[in-house]
Amino acid sequence: MSVVIEARDAEFAFGRTPALRGASIAVDAGEILAIMGPSGSGKSTLLHCLAGILVPDSGEILFDGVRVDTMSEPERSSLRRDRFGFVFQFGQLVPELTAAENVALPLLLSGVRRTQALRRAYAWFERLGLDGMEQRRSGELSGGQAQRVALARGLVAEPQVLFADEPTGALDSLTGEQVMDLLVSAAREQGTTVILVTHEARIAAYADREVMVRDGRVNAPDRIAS
């Protein structure tokens, strides 16, 4: 397995609040990794640094062997647009757009023509059990439906890495697991690497591996006895 994304000794502080204190992690291509840990331990900050949203104060971030932390903001922005997908706790759909337009958004932003972008977006609705919801606006969707639309938007451009921060955090357990099930199947099908932040063990159990973040550092379970 080859490493696709990596943090080496990343440190990050919000003003005087340290959030990462030397976090290191390497994620293999195609791997589904769960990042767990207590509230405030630095999970989201680590995710944002890996995704090139935040730049660590020191340490390195590498994507496909290339330093991300030394890129310019426009370079990181196009990396995020072209290679990465995102799903957050609250779908963050654009309320003015239809569900289908929301899904098509990443394609439209990277210059795919509108008819083709919408055609690719539509294909996701059946796949995620959302047939008939294409023209609805986010206010007309249940939490679970909105989250599946957000998942489709995260995956529609076939990103190399999908970053998901508590994607099921706002859903009840059954709906949350349905979303996870779809996420894992879709990611496996297109070979997408998934980095998933969750504090729920039952959600983390959908991943291939888990790491714990504590006080801004990553503890991988290395001493596994069986």
Partner 1 sequence: MSVPLTLLGLLEREPSHGYDLKRDYDAFFGRGKPLPFGQVYSTLSRLARDGKVVISDVAPGSGPDRKRYIITDLGATEVEQWLTQPVDPEPHLQTVLFAKVVLALMLDRPADEYLDTQRSAHLRRMRELTEIKRGGSLVDALLADHGLYHLEADLRWIEMTGARLDALRKAVRP
Ligand X SMILES: Nc1ncnc2c1ncn2[C@@H]1O[C@H](COP(=O)(O)OP(=O)(O)OP(=O)(O)O)[C@@H](O)[C@H]1O
Does residue 39 touch ligand X according to CB under 6 A?
A: yes
By CB under 6 A, what part of segment 179-218 binds ligand X? 199
CA dist 121 and 194 (Å) reads 20
Number of residues that bind Mg ion (CB under 5 A): 1
Of positions 25, 149, 156, 204, contacts partner 1 by CB under 8 A: 204
CA dist 176 and 99 (Å) reads 19
* CB of 155 closer than 8 Å to CB of 120: no
Considering the complex, state which of residue 41 and residue 160 has its C-beta at the smaller distance from partner 1: 41
Considering the complex, state which of residue 113 and residue 202 has its C-beta at the smaller distance from partner 1: 202
Residue 86: strand pairing partners:
163
Burial-class residue 92 by CB neighbours within 10 Å (0-12, 13-18, 19+). middle
Q: Which one, of 138, 139, 136, 134, lies nearest residue 120 by Cα?
A: 134
Q: Where are the alpha helices (DSSP H) in 84-172?
A: 99-109, 114-127, 143-155
Considering the complex, state which of residue 71 and residue 184 has its C-beta at the smaller distance from partner 1: 184
Does residue 212 touch partner 1 according to CB under 8 A?
A: yes
By CB under 8 A, what part of segment 28-57 binds partner 1? 38
Considering the complex, state which of residue 12 and residue 206 has its C-beta at the smaller distance from ligand X: 12
Does residue 181 touch partner 1 according to CB under 8 A?
A: yes
Residues that bind ligand X (CB under 6 A): 14, 17, 19, 37, 39-45, 199
Residues that bind Mg ion (CB under 5 A): 44
